[in-house]
A and B are shown apart, each in its own frame.
Chain A
Amino acid sequence: MTLPTGPAALRAEHLSKHFGRTRAVDDLCLEVPPGEVFGFLGPNGAGKSTTIRTVLGLLRPTSGRVEVFGDPAGDVERAHRHLAYVPADVALWPGLTGRECLDLLAGVGPGTDPAYRDELVERFALDVGRRARTYSTGNRQKVALVAAFATRAPLLVLDEPTSGLDPLMEREFRRCLAEAAARGQTVFLSSHALAEVEAVCTRVGILRAGRLVEVAGLAELRRLRRSEVTVSLVRPAPELERLEALPGVADVRWATPLEVTLALTGPPGPVLRALGAADVARLDVREPSLEEIFLDYYGRDAA
C-alpha cells in the first residue's frame, strides 16, 4: 500500500467563525487524508454544522482557511467538483417530484452515475414520483443521500445523515458507506449515532465549544482510555488488596471476596503479574465503547 501523496481531502487551517461575539468555531486545525472515514463528534452547539457549512462555502470563515482536495472552499465551482453533501435537515422545492430533484442535483452536480442512482433509489425504497411536499423527513433525507452517493464524489460530507431514517434504511446507509469507503471515497461524517460512527469510522475528531479537543484513531482512543477488568477468583486472595497501588489502576471494587472489578489505563503488565500469583477462574477485559469515551469528554466539562 502506498501512502497518499496528493493534497488532503479536507484541510482546515486555524479556522475560526464568529457570529457577533459568539465563537462558533475557534482556531480549528484538521486534516483528513484521502480514503479515510472520519467521524466528527461533539455535543449540541459545539460548532459541527458551522464547520461543515464553512467547508461548503455557505459560511465565510472569520479567519483561517479551508481546502477541499487543495481547492479553497470559497471557490465553490472548483471545490464542489470533489464533494457531495447530505444535510441533517433536507429542504426541497415542494412542487418538484423526487425524480425532478434528483435530476436537478445531477444536472448541477459533479457528475452522476445514473445506473447506480437507480439502484440506490431501489435500495432506499424511495418513491421518486411523488412531489417533495408529500415527503416525510426521512424521505427528504433519502433524496439527498441518493443524490450524494450517486455522484461518487471523492469526498462525502455527511451532517447527521441518518437522523430521520428507520433502522432498515440506516443499515442500507451503512452498506453504502462501506461501499464508498471500499471504492476509496473519503467520508466526513458528523453524527450523534455513536454506534454508527464506531462501526464505520477509522478516526474521529471531538469538538467542544468550537475547539477540537481530540483527533485520534478509534483504536488509539481506546488505548488511551480506561478498560474495565473483571476478575473472578477460585478462592479468596488477600494479597490482591495491593491492586489499588499498581500504576494505571483505579476504582477497585470487590463485589464479593471472589470477584473484583477495576479500571485500567495503560499497559496491563503489572496487573497481570499481580494476578499471576492468585488462582484466577475468569478474566474479562472490556474495552470502553465510544459512548463511554465520549461521555468522558462531555463529563470533563461538567466536572
Chain B
Amino acid sequence: MTTRTPPRVAGTGRPPAPAHPGTAVRRAVVRQVRRGTVVVAVLCGGLTAFVAQEYEQTLSGAVGVGSLTALAENPAIRTLFGPPLALDDPGGFTVWRTGTVVAVLAGVWAALAGTRVTRGEEEAGRADLLLAGRVRPVTLVRTALAVLLGAGAGVGLAVTAGVWAAGTAWAGAVLFGVLVGGTAVAGGALGVLTGQLLTERRAASGLAVAVLLTGLLARMVGDGVPALAWLQWLSPFGLLGRVAPYAHDRWAPLLALGVLAAVPAVLAVVLAGTRDVGTGRWQGRDRARPPSRLLRSLPGLAVHRTRRPAATWSLGVAAYFLLIGLLATAMLDFLRDNPVFAQMAAAVGFARLASVEGYAASLFGLLAVPVGAFAAARVAALAADEAASRLTLLYSRPVGRVRWAGWEAAVAAAGAALVAAAAGVATWTGASWVGAGLGLGGALGGALSVLPVALLCLGAALLALGWAPSVVLPVGVLPGAGGFLLLVLADSFGWPAWVRGLSPFAHLAAVPAEPWDVAGAAGMVVVALALAAAGLVGYVRRDLRG
C-alpha cells in the first residue's frame, strides 16, 4: 500500500487551528450574561403578566371615559407616570403602570452587563488572554453586542409572552415586548460604548446608567411640556408613549428605537478598532493635583471614595425632584378638579395628594429607592475592591475588617443623608418657583424621613458582604426597590395587611403631611443595625477573597 502524504508523527505536527475563534468568544460572553438574562426576563415577564392578570379581577371598568381624558390631558400626571393611554384595557393599564419600571430595569441591567463583558473583562486583564489568540478587539465588541441583542430579545419575548398569556391583544403585546427588549438592547449598546470610552468599569457603568436615566428625565420633560415633546424621540422611555401599545399601536416609532440601539453600537465598533487595549478612548490625567490630604487615614479614605458618587447621585436625584417641585401646582389643580383620581391615587399608595405637603410626601416615598441604592452601591464597591485584591495591602496593616467596613458604612450613611437632603432642597426650590407654598423645613424633613429605608438597604448590603459577597448589590437594593414594588402591588390589589407590612414603606409616615412615625423609623433602624451587625460578624469570620 502506498500513501501520498507521509503519516503524521505524534508530537511533531501542529494541530489544526479551530475554524471559528469567534465561536469560543461568543460562548464565553453568553456564559457571563445568561443567568442575568433569565432573571431579568422572568422579572419583567412575570411583573407585567401579573399586573395584567390582577387588573382583570380588580380594576376592570372602574375608570370612566371622561376621567380618562382628564387624566391624559394633565401634564403633571403625564410627567410623573407617563402618558396614561387605554387605561380601560388591561394591557394599556399594564403599560402605564409597569412600562417605565420594566424598561428602566431591563435597560439598566443591560447597560451594566455591557460594561461588564467589555470593560470589566479588559480591566481584569482577562481580555488580554483572549486577544493573544486569533481574536481582534473589534470581534470582542461585536460579540458582546450580538449577545446583548439576543439577551434583549429574550427579555422582550418574556414580556410579550407574559402580557399575551394574561389575555391582552397580540399587537399591543408584541409592541410592548419589542419596546422593553429594544430598551435592553439600546442600554446594552450604550454600556458597550461607554466601555470603549472610559478606562474603569465603574466609571463606564456610571456613565451608561446616567445617560439612560437622563433619557428618562427627558421623557418626563417632553411629556410635561408640549413645546418640548420632541424630547420623547431621544429615549426608549419616550418612545413607549409614541408607540402607545394597546392604544394606538403605532409601528413606525420602532424605527427610532432601532436608531437608538444602532448608533451607540456602531460607535462602539468604530472606537474598538482605534484604541489601545486596556485603556479607554477618554483618558484622564495621569498625574494628580497635589496629593489629597484626605488619604492619610481610614475615615479620610472613606470620604475620598464616597464624595464623588455622593455628588453624582445628589445631582441626579435633585434634577428629578426639581421637576417634581415645578409640577406641584399643576398636579394640585388637577386633583382639585378631578376628585375621582385623588381617591384612585390613594388606593395605589399615593394618599393625601390633594395638599402640597401630601403631594411632596407621596413622591418622597419614591426617593427611598435611589437613596437606598446609593448606600447599597457603596457597600458593593467595598466588595468589588476586595475581589480585585485592592484591600489586601490595607488589611496587611493594623486595620481590622470591622473598623474599615464600619467607616465605609458610616460615610455611606452620611452620603445617603446628603443625597436625600439634595432632593429635599431641589423640591423646595421647584415648588417655591411655582409658588406652591412648600416650606424648606417641610421639604427637608420629608426627604430625610426616608433615611430609615436607606439604612435598611445599607444593613442588607452589609449582611450580604458578610455572608454572600457576590450579591451585595441585589440584596442591598431589595428593601428599597423590592419593598416599594411590594407596597404598590399590595395597595393596588388589596393584599392582606401582613404582606403589606413586610414592606419597609408601610412603616414610613407621609412626612411632611403627617408627623414622623417615630416607632416605625426606630424599628427600621433597629432592624438595620441588627442586619449590619450580623453582616459584620460574617465579614470578620470569613476568608477574604481576591
Tell me the A residues contacting B by CB distance below 8 Å.
53, 56-60, 76-81, 83-85, 87, 89-97, 99-100, 103-110, 129-131, 133-134, 144, 147, 157
Report yes or no: B392 in contact with A100, Cβ–Cβ below 8 A. no
By beta carbon, the residue of chain B nearest A106 is B296
Stretch at the interface among B60-68, B284-292, B346-354, B519-527: B284-292
B288: chain A residues within 8 A (beta carbon): 96-97, 100, 129, 131
Report yes or no: A100 in contact with B396, Cβ–Cβ below 8 A. no
Give the distance in Å from the alpha carbon of A59 to the alpha carbon of B386 in the complex.
13
A87, A110, A129: which contacts B287 (Cβ < 8 A)?
A: A129
Sample of 25 A–B contacts (CB below 8 Å)? A57-B395, A76-B400, A77-B398, A77-B399, A77-B400, A77-B403, A79-B398, A80-B396, A80-B399, A84-B396, A85-B392, A85-B393, A91-B393, A91-B546, A92-B393, A94-B200, A97-B287, A97-B291, A105-B397, A107-B295, A107-B298, A110-B398, A131-B284, A131-B285, A144-B393
Stretch at the interface among B150-158, B221-229, B443-451, B536-544: B536-544
A60: chain B residues within 8 A (beta carbon): 541-543
B401: chain A residues within 8 A (beta carbon): 76
User: B33-62 toward A: CB 8 Å interface, digit per residue (1/0)?
Assistant: 000000000000000000000000000000
Report yes or no: A91 in contact with B286, Cβ–Cβ below 8 A. no
Q: Does B410 make an interface contact (CB < 8 A)?
A: no
Report yes or no: A107 in contact with B297, Cβ–Cβ below 8 A. yes
A80: chain B residues within 8 A (beta carbon): 396-399
Give the distance in Å from the alpha carbon of A289 to the alpha carbon of B295 in the complex.
46
A59: chain B residues within 8 A (beta carbon): 543-544
Give the distance in Å from the alpha carbon of A105 to the alpha carbon of B199 in the complex.
25
10 closest Cβ contacts across the A-B interface? A85-B396, A107-B296, A91-B389, A80-B398, A58-B544, A59-B543, A100-B295, A91-B390, A99-B291, A108-B397
Report yes or no: A91 in contact with B392, Cβ–Cβ below 8 A. yes
Report yes or no: A58 in contact with B399, Cβ–Cβ below 8 A. no
CB distance from B152 to the nearest CB of A (A): 31
Give the distance in Å from the alpha carbon of A147 to the alpha carbon of B200 in the complex.
25
B541: chain A residues within 8 A (beta carbon): 60
Report yes or no: A91 in contact with B398, Cβ–Cβ below 8 A. no
Give the distance in Å from the alpha carbon of A90 to the alpha carbon of B389 in the complex.
8
By beta carbon, the residue of chain B nearest A83 is B396
Q: Does B340 make an interface contact (CB < 8 A)?
A: no
By beta carbon, the residue of chain B nearest A144 is B393
Report yes or no: B398 in contact with A107, Cβ–Cβ below 8 A. no
CB distance from B147 to the nearest CB of A (A): 27
B394: chain A residues within 8 A (beta carbon): 104-105, 108
CB distance from B299 to the nearest CB of A (A): 10
User: Which residues of chain B from 262 to 311 have any CB-CB distance to chain A below 8 Å in the complex?
Assistant: 284-288, 291-292, 295-298, 300-301
Give the distance in Å from the alpha carbon of A132 to the alpha carbon of B287 in the complex.
10
A131: chain B residues within 8 A (beta carbon): 284-288
A56, A133, A134: which contacts B395 (Cβ < 8 A)?
A: A56
CB distance from A44 to the nearest CB of B (A): 18
Q: Does B388 make an interface contact (CB < 8 A)?
A: yes
User: B180-217 toward A: CB 8 Å interface, digit per residue (1/0)?
Assistant: 00000000000000000001100000000000000000
By beta carbon, the residue of chain B nearest A107 is B296
Give the distance in Å from the alpha carbon of A133 to the alpha carbon of B119 in the complex.
14
Give the distance in Å from the alpha carbon of A131 to the alpha carbon of B389 in the complex.
17
By beta carbon, the residue of chain A nearest B289 is A97
A147: chain B residues within 8 A (beta carbon): 393
A89: chain B residues within 8 A (beta carbon): 389
Report yes or no: B395 in contact with A58, Cβ–Cβ below 8 A. yes
Give the distance in Å from the alpha carbon of A96 to the alpha carbon of B295 in the complex.
9
Report yes or no: B390 in contact with A92, Cβ–Cβ below 8 A. yes
A58: chain B residues within 8 A (beta carbon): 392, 395-396, 543-544
B287: chain A residues within 8 A (beta carbon): 97, 129-131
Question: Which among B295, B394, B395 has the highest number of chain A CB atoms within 10 Å?
Answer: B295
Report yes or no: B544 in contact with A108, Cβ–Cβ below 8 A. no
By beta carbon, the residue of chain A nearest B543 is A59
Provided the pairs A58-B395, A107-B296 are in contact, do residues A133 and B199 lie with their beta carbons within 8 angstroms? yes
Give the distance in Å from the alpha carbon of A97 to the alpha carbon of B287 in the complex.
7
CB distance from B391 to the nearest CB of A (A): 8
Report yes or no: A109 in contact with B398, Cβ–Cβ below 8 A. yes
B403: chain A residues within 8 A (beta carbon): 77
Report yes or no: A87 in contact with B400, Cβ–Cβ below 8 A. no
Report yes or no: A104 in contact with B399, Cβ–Cβ below 8 A. no
Question: Which among A78, A108, A129 has the highest number of chain B CB atoms within 10 Å?
Answer: A108
A77: chain B residues within 8 A (beta carbon): 398-400, 403
Question: Which among B389, B393, B400, B542 has the highest number of chain A CB atoms within 10 Å?
Answer: B393
B390: chain A residues within 8 A (beta carbon): 91-93
By beta carbon, the residue of chain B nearest A74 is B540
Report yes or no: B295 in contact with A53, Cβ–Cβ below 8 A. no
A104: chain B residues within 8 A (beta carbon): 295-296, 301, 394
7 extra interchain contacts, Cβ-Cβ under 8 A, other than A90-B393, A108-B399?
A58-B544, A60-B543, A77-B403, A104-B301, A105-B393, A133-B200, A134-B286
CB distance from A132 to the nearest CB of B (A): 9
Give the distance in Å from the alpha carbon of A78 to the alpha carbon of B398 in the complex.
7
CB distance from B148 to the nearest CB of A (A): 26
B291: chain A residues within 8 A (beta carbon): 97, 99-100, 103
B200: chain A residues within 8 A (beta carbon): 94-95, 133
Give the distance in Å from the alpha carbon of A81 to the alpha carbon of B394 in the complex.
13
Report yes or no: A100 in contact with B292, Cβ–Cβ below 8 A. yes
